[in-house]
Amino acid sequence: MIVIGAGASGLMCAATAGYRGKKVVVLDHANRAGKKILMSGGGRCNFTNMDAAPKHFLSDNPHFCISALRRFSSQDFVDLVDRHGLDYVEKTPGQLFCEHSAKDLLDILLTELEWSGAELRLNTKIHNIDFQDGQTVIKTNQGDFTCESLVVATGGLSIPTMGATGFGYDIAKQVGHNILPTRASLVPITVQPDRKAQLAELSGIACEISATASGVTFQEPMLFTHRGVSGPSILQITNFWQPGETLNINIAPTLSLDDLLDVRQSTPKKSYEGFLSNLLPKRLVELIKAEFPWLTERSAQTSNEQIDNLFHYLANFDIAPNGTEGYRTAEVTLGGVNTNEVSSKTFESQKQPGLYFIGEVLDVTGWLGGYNFQWAWASGFCAGQYV
Ligand code: FDA
């Protein structure tokens, strides 16, 4: 059996199959295994989410992920890292990160790989794959490999400098699979030039907002950048935002109109500027003040209409993206190999016997928060049981 891709799903699949007594070789063109694991989670890898459920995944076929997520849960992965004594922390509820370094997690996967008897071949450039009757021949710069089962675990297109390629899609197309349109996701958003200058003044500021697109809302921090906006709420919403759609941003999502009206009632001698300063970063309040100069006045002097206007301004700090930062900084790729043409039980292609697709190369994309690695572990483990 050959696995192409020594990333999260490929390493998991190879070790699982190796323990079953399969003769496994993992090929990767990179000079190091698991580069994305190392760079993930700010170097500490958010390796799973204890709340991982099918509702946290996007796919043209939403049922596809259910079986694997059930057969290999986040608790199963935690049990694995516990056996190796990994130190980890739960940052935001459910999100588990390595306490020290993502390298600790990669070391566990490489140890498992070694114990399972699987072989890892790095710096291996694949020239050609020839599907013959009952076997597959892979021509590489390290010579030819022949296998009965070929697992494609080449991931998505994000961060090409880390070794990402569309090779998995090419293999899929070679045997007649459909590739659903791919797009960079979990990615910072860039804004139209007119808004860019305004937002650039806020660059570096973070605040809790709610972002809504295509009827889906995330309430998490947002970060203003030189090019537009980023931070968890923005990365999350890019899984749902459609190009051309305006993002609804509420910069005071916990505030109701009644709360704002109450300010005038309860603190008539104080200004709305003072009230907002307790709620929002100073530079953002300055920007709002430029729109509403009356904010500096005593709140007793403000009219219902002014308060209403302020409320609507805060709740509709909308942004018309002109795009995203693309694969250069994206965490994942939306779309990929059509899961309607792959078995959700074995991960075998319905077009080519003996060919398997796992991980991000498939049209399965998780939310931000450890879900994408959980998909890699689950799909890798399940395929590893059948190859
Ligand atoms: P993965 O990308 O891990 O591995 C693919 C492998 O295939 C690579 O080793 C590559 O070199 C190899 N390959 C590609 N083309 C090849 C070719 N032509 N020939 C040979 N080998 C080839 N997720 C999460 O759950 N929590 C997190 O904290 C983060 N953080 C994060 C940060 C950043 C910056 C990024 C870019 C991504 C994340 N992710 C994440 C997403 C997560 O990294 C991703 O979903 C998984 O790594 C996908 O695992 P795969 O095994 O499918 O691909």
Domain count for the chain = 2
The percent of residues in the chain predicted with pLDDT above 90, rounded, is: 96
Residues 10 and 131 in one domain: yes
> Which tokens go with 224?
């203003």
Query: Does residue 120 contact residue 6 with C-beta atoms inside 8 Å?
Result: yes
Query: Rounded to the nearest 5 degrees, what angle is found at the Cα of 44, between the Cα atoms of 206 and 235?
Result: 40
- What pLDDT score was predicted for residue 138? 98
Q: What is the mean pLDDT of residues 45-65?
A: 98
pLDDT score for 360: 98
Strands (E), 157-286: 179-185, 189-191, 206-213, 216-224, 228-230, 248-250
Average pLDDT of the chain to the nearest whole number: 97
**Which CATH number covers residue 212?**
2.40.30.10
Tens digit of pLDDT for each residue in 63-81? 999 999 999 999 999 999 9
193 assigned to some structural domain = yes
User: Over the stretch 309-320, which tens digit does the pLDDT of each residue have?
Assistant: 999 999 999 999
**ipTM of the prediction:** 0.99
Q: Are residues 274 and 219 in the same domain?
A: yes
Residue 200: predicted pLDDT: 87
- Looking at residue 178, its pLDDT comes to 96
Residue 387 CA to ligand 1 centre (angstroms): 21
206 inside domain: yes
Percent over 70 (pLDDT), the chain: 100
Q: Which of 276, 303, 325 is the last residue of a domain?
A: 325
Query: Do 177 and 276 lie in a common domain?
Result: no
Domain assignment present for residue 41? The answer is yes
Same structural domain, 179 and 192: no
* Nearest residue to 80 via CA among 151, 8, 26: 8
Same domain, residue pair 215 and 160: no
Last residue of a domain, one of 325, 350, 377: 325
The answer to whether the CB of 5 is under 6 A from ligand 1 is yes
377 pLDDT more than 90? yes
4, β-bridge pairs: 27, 152
d(CA 252, CA 311): 9
Q: Is 6 in the pocket of ligand 1 (CB under 6 A)?
A: yes
- CB distance 255 to ligand 1 below 6 Å: no
What SS3 class is residue 89?
Answer: strand
The verdict on the CB of residue 126 being under 6 Å from ligand 1 is yes
Residues 40 and 134 in one domain: yes
Q: What is the pLDDT of residue 232?
A: 98
> Does some domain include residue 330?
no
Residue 134 predicted with pLDDT over 90: no
Element (H, E) at 150: strand 150-152
Query: Same domain, yes or no, for 143 and 13?
Result: yes
**236 in ligand 1 pocket by Cβ < 6 Å?**
no
Backbone angles phi, psi at 349, to 5 degrees: -65, 140
Q: Are 323 and 243 in contact (CB under 8 A)?
A: yes
**In the prediction, which pLDDT does 194 show?**
82
CB 38 within 8 A of CB 130: no
8 C-alpha vs ligand 1 centroid, how far in Å?
Answer: 7
> 184-205 pLDDT, tens per residue?
999 999 998 888 888 889 999 9
Same-domain status, 28 and 142: yes
**Domain annotation covers residue 210:** yes
What's the gap in Å between 143 CA and the centre of ligand 1? 25
Q: Strand 206-213 vs strand 216-224: parallel, antiparallel, or unpaired?
A: antiparallel
pLDDT band at 162 (very low <50, low <70, confident <90, very high): confident
Backbone angles phi, psi at 219, to 5 degrees: -110, 100
> Which residue segment(s) compose the domain that 200 sits in?
188-325
Other residues' Cβ atoms within 10 Å of the Cβ of residue 46: 24
Digit-coded pLDDT (tens) for 225-261: 999 999 999 999 999 999 999 999 999 999 999 999 9
Task: Report the pLDDT averaged over residues 13-39.
Answer: 98
pLDDT, mean of residues 136-160: 97
Say what the pLDDT of residue 133 is.
Answer: 87
Sign of CA dihedral 28, 32, 37, 40: negative
Judge whether 80 lies within some domain. Answer: yes
> Residue 173: inside a domain, yes or no?
yes
DSSP readout, 277-342?
A: HTTS-HHHHHHHHHH-GGGGSBGGG--HHHHHHHHHHHHT--B-EEEE-GGGT-SEEEEEE-GGGB
The model's pTM is 0.96
Three-point CA angle 375, 386, 17, nearest 5°: 80
Nearest Cα residue to atom 32 of ligand 1: 40
* Assigned domain for 153 exists: yes
Same domain for 153 and 206, yes or no, is no
CA distance 155 to 358: 8
Asked if 74 and 218 sit in the same domain, the reply is: no
What CATH code is carried by the domain that includes residue 99? 3.50.50.60
Q: How far apart are CA 188 and CA 280, in angstroms?
A: 21
Listed residues 280, 305, 325: the one ending a domain: 325
Do 316 and 380 sit in the same domain of this protein?
no
Residue 297 has pLDDT above 90, yes or no: yes
Using alpha carbons only, give the angle 44, 45, 47 rounded to the nearest 5 degrees.
140
Give the mutation target among 154, 185, 333 for probing the ligand 1 site: most ligand atoms within 8 A of CB.
Answer: 154
Residues 77 and 124 in one domain: yes
Angle at 323 between CA 321 and CA 328, to 5 degrees: 135
Structure confidence at residue 210 (pLDDT)? 98
Q: What is the pLDDT of residues 331-365, one digit of tens each?
A: 999 999 999 999 999 999 999 999 999 999 999 99
